[in-house]
Amino acid sequence: MQDAFASNNKHLMLFSGRAFPELAQEVAELMEQELVPTRAVTYANSEIYVRFQESVRGCDAFVIQSHTAPVNEWLMEQLIMVDALKRASAKRITVVAPFYPYARQDKKHLGREPISARLVADLFKAAGADRIMSVDLHAAQIQGFFDGPVDHLWGLPVLSAYVKNKYGDEDLAVVSPDAGRVRLADMWTDKLGAPLAIIHKRRDPNKANTVAVHEVVGEVEGKTCILVDDMIDTAGTIAQAAIALKERGAKRVIAAATHAIFSDPARQRLNDSGMTEIIVTNTLPIQNAEEINNLTVLSIAPLLAQAIHEVFMDGSVTSLFDGQA
């Protein structure tokens, strides 16, 4: 297969940052490729130095980096890698960021706020990136922030195939944990052939300040509820949603999300929520996964490998999702 990636005067090369090299290695193995040997050093004053240990001239470069904490350090490292490739005459540079950094800062809510997701796109462009590949962008509009092609991959086929295989015979309901995820939940209903329910959060008029009431719009009693979201960070929203569903008679609750950020106190909240299973992918490294009850981690590497192959061969990334999402 390696010969297929060095034809028509094109040469594919894979590069990995230090945030999550295991994912990049899995992608490389699936593509029967080797990661380019790279010397990366963080100096005492926290500056980063990168040098590739073989020629990259004329290559089609794919730079894989997962933006886990500390996000700023790994973002800077990927920018430096892109700059090094540009200055070493790589022919085309694709940033592979399974979890796009600063994606939640995609618009201004108040005056004098930044649009940090746009800034990140500008930084990648300034560094020399020609293309960006990411999975489940928090907001679809981020695709328009980058002046070049953006391959927006979906984790839905990976997650839904697992759910359908394990729970397909049960009486299912797909549940959006808030109004902002309704579009995603609607795509899940198409995949599973299940009805949609929505959790609406509002303030309790009988109680002061921040107390919220979770109203469930849709039928969930006696059903196996699939709570879907693009990410789980501190798990406040999804854990409260699970509790609300159980209170309204759900048989059991399963959570499915692409990005497992799991910032504290996510582990405690997930364990206290009573969910039957929490299904995520490995777009980000998960530390101490055994501390979370009933956690299932699915690999996103096959999807990344297929998408990289399509981009390199000038094929269609969209074809990976025809009839899927």
Catalytic residues: 201
Token representation of residue 138: 């928090």
- The 10 Å Cβ neighbour count of residue 159 is 24
Half-sphere exposure of 84 (CA within 13 A, CB side): 22
Measured N-to-C along each axis, helices 116-127 and 71-87 cross at an angle, to the nearest 10 degrees, of: 30
Q: Residue written as tokens 């927006």?
A: 152
| Rounded Cα gap, residues 218 and 238, in angstroms | 17
Cβ(236)–Cβ(264) below 8 Å: no
Q: Which of 236, 259, 278 is nearest to 69 (CA)?
A: 259
Q: Residue 26 is encoded by which pair of tokens? A: 């899995």
How many alpha carbons fall within 13 Å on the CB side of residue 48? 18
Hey, how many other C-beta atoms are within 10 angstroms of the C-beta on 54? 10
Q: Would you say 225 and 197 are in contact if contact means Cβ atoms under 8 Å apart?
A: yes
Residues in the chain: 325
- The enclosing H or E element of 225 equals strand 224-232
Tokens at 288, concatenated: 């101490």
- 316 three-state secondary structure: coil
**CB-based contacts of 302, cutoff 8 Å, min separation 6:** 30, 158
Query: 204-208 contacts: CB < 8 A, separation 24 or more?
Result: none
